């Protein structure tokens, strides 16, 4: 029986919405729902029910959430197992592919350097990366790569907020997207299954990826922009370029900077671009849904995340645990610190989680109209922004496999939710999860 082909359009729709994948027909092993925390101020019945019903409806092995108030230990809500073939229940140290939830991490890493005085928000990145000194802008984006000189420079602010005018391998004008793929500029790794690669690239030729962030930046700089810097919000590979800015400004490799200035101080010991072999037992499967059947496209035992990636993708490369990402969110809720572990000043943290978008920017390409800060959305009203409708002022983002995370300053809480399902079929997780959390909060 031939293996099914994945639907490229639906797959790419799901990847874009992230952010902002058991074999077909196999049974899902449903573990018991559990919760644990030092303090549980109210029940989370609606959220628990949502997670359980979600994995049942999508034939996924597991899902979980971490919810914390202030600096208190989080409540962990867990449903099911890490893999369809295994019996290990999901838990705080289960490792999930968080994809674009890497973007706020990279954004805050840049804010640390702003705090250090090594970068400024409105600094021309051409001063740091010479290949970006003279950006060009497409004159007819839907039809050709013809370009003119940009009206102004690309700044650190533009890269933080997806307003640099860059394209992306998963979306954007066809001529530029094809050129991005032809340059090997993907935003992360998904699977060893060649069908997944075909679903992502279609008929476009795909070059070997760069083997350094420096080479990634040089290749990207040879391509034109969609629009003048600061004029249009467009989801893009800007955080990959920003990771190169971080390397140069910090004088050390990007991944090392994250480890020494953020992960180690915050106790994030299960967050990686490459999952170590010793942590393999903590890793989940990843899935897609095709014609109503759930397919395991990246089994934990042989996951592509066990390999060293071409580069540490600053916009979509991390795998992390609920415990670790909650530590990151707790630092944000603490305006740069958890207890004595301070990674940036309160002032800088507040700036990073504020609306940094240039005035008058075109927001028509946004998933929901909102502000945008250092790698994440800033909710502007309850019905718009955030990851999926959090209170005004909330800051966060989601990932391509359905994950979601945010800090809610109005309610002094942080929230993260985890599944592993790629493509458009995960589009109902984030809004449903968000509604369930706030339903519980009002009980």
3-state secondary structure of 283: strand
Q: Distance (Å, rounded) from C-alpha 85 to C-alpha 141? A: 46
In this predicted structure, what is the pLDDT of residue 25? 26
In this predicted structure, what is the pLDDT of residue 241? 97
pLDDT(255) > 60: yes
pLDDT(57) > 60: yes
pLDDT(9) > 60: no
- Residue for token digits 């004008």? 173
> With pLDDT > 70 as the criterion, what percentage of the chain qualifies?
86
Residue-wise pLDDT tens digits, 80-138:
999 999 999 999 999 999 999 999 999 999 999 999 999 999 999 999 999 999 999 99
Q: What is the pTM (predicted TM-score) of this model?
A: 0.91
- Choice among 34-38, 75-79, 355-359 with the minimum mean pLDDT: 34-38
pLDDT(354) > 80: yes
Determine the average pLDDT of the residues in 225-236.
97
Longest dimension (CA), the chain: 61
Determine the average pLDDT of the residues in 21-49.
51
pLDDT(382) > 50: yes
- Choice among 12-21, 279-288, 366-375, 412-421 with the minimum mean pLDDT: 12-21
pLDDT(33) > 50: no
- Average pLDDT score, the chain: 89
pLDDT(306) > 80: yes
What lies within 8 Å, CB to CB, of 385 at 6+ separation is 368, 369, 370, 371, 377, 378, 379, 392, 394
Q: Distance (Å, rounded) from C-alpha 230 to C-alpha 192? A: 37
In this predicted structure, what is the pLDDT of residue 27? 28
pLDDT(31) > 50: no
In this predicted structure, what is the pLDDT of residue 252? 98
Residue-wise pLDDT tens digits, 318-348:
999 999 999 999 999 999 999 999 999 999 9
pLDDT(277) > 50: yes
Number of Cβ within a 10 Å radius of residue 442:
7
pLDDT(18) > 90: no
In this predicted structure, what is the pLDDT of residue 290? 84
**pLDDT confidence tier of residue 396, bands split at 50, 70 and 90:** very high
In this predicted structure, what is the pLDDT of residue 291? 83
**Termini Cα distance of the chain:** 51
369 or 415, higher pLDDT: 415
Determine the average pLDDT of the residues in 282-296.
93
376 and 364 Cβ atoms separated by less than 8 Å: no
In this predicted structure, what is the pLDDT of residue 200? 60
Phi-psi sector, 50: left (phi>0), alpha (psi -120 to 50), beta: alpha
């Amino acid at each position: 029986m031939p293996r099914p082909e994945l639907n490229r359009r639906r797959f790419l729709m799901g990847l874009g919405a992230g952010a902002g994948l058991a074999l077909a027909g196999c049974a899902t092993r449903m573990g018991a729902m559990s919760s644990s925390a030092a303090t549980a101020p109210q029940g989370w019945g609606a959220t628990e029910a949502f997670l359980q019903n979600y994995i049942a409806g999508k034939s996924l092995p597991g899902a979980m959430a971490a919810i914390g108030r202030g600096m208190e230990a989080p409540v962990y809500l867990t449903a099911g197992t890490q893999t369809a073939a295994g019996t290990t229940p999901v838990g705080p140290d289960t490792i999930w592919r968080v994809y674009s939830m890497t973007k706020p991490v990279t954004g805050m890493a840049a804010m640390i350097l702003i705090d250090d005085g090594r970068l400024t928000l409105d600094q021309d990145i051409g001063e740091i990366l010479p290949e970006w000194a003279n950006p060009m802008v497409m004159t007819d984006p839907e039809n050709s790569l013809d370009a003119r000189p940009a009206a102004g420079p690309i700044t650190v602010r533009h890269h933080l907020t997806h307003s640099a005018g860059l394209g992306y391998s998963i979306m954007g004008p066809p001529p530029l997207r094809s050129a991005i793929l032809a340059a090997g500029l993907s935003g992360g790794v998904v699977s060893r299954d060649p069908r997944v690669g075909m679903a992502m690239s279609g008929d476009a030729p795909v070059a070997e990826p760069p083997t350094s962030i420096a080479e990634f930046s040089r290749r990207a700089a040879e391509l034109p922009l969609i629009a003048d810097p600061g004029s249009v919000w467009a989801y893009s590979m800007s955080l990959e370029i920003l990771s190169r800015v971080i390397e140069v400004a910090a004088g050390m490799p990007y991944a090392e900077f994250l480890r020494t200035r953020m992960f180690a101080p915050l106790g994030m010991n299960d967050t990686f671009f490459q999952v170590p072999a010793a942590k393999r037992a903590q890793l989940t499967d990843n899935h897609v849904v095709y014609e109503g059947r759930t397919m395991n496209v990246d089994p934990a035992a042989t996951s592509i995340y066990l390999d060293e990636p071409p580069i540490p993708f600053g916009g979509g490369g991390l795998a992390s645990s609920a415990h670790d990402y909650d530590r990151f969110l707790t630092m944000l809720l603490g305006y740069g610190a958890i207890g004595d572990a301070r990674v940036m000043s309160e002032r800088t943290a507040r700036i990073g989680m504020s609306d940094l978008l240039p005035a008058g920017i075109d927001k028509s390409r946004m998933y929901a109209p909102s502000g945008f800060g250092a790698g994440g959305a800033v909710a502007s009203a309850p019905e718009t922004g955030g990851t999926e409708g959090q209170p005004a002022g909330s800051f966060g983002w989601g990932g391509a496999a359905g994950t979601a995370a945010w800090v809610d300053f109005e309610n002094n809480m942080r929230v993260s939710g985890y599944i592993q399902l790629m493509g458009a079929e995960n589009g109902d997780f984030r809004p449903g999860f968000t509604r369930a959390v706030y339903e519980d909060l009002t009980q």
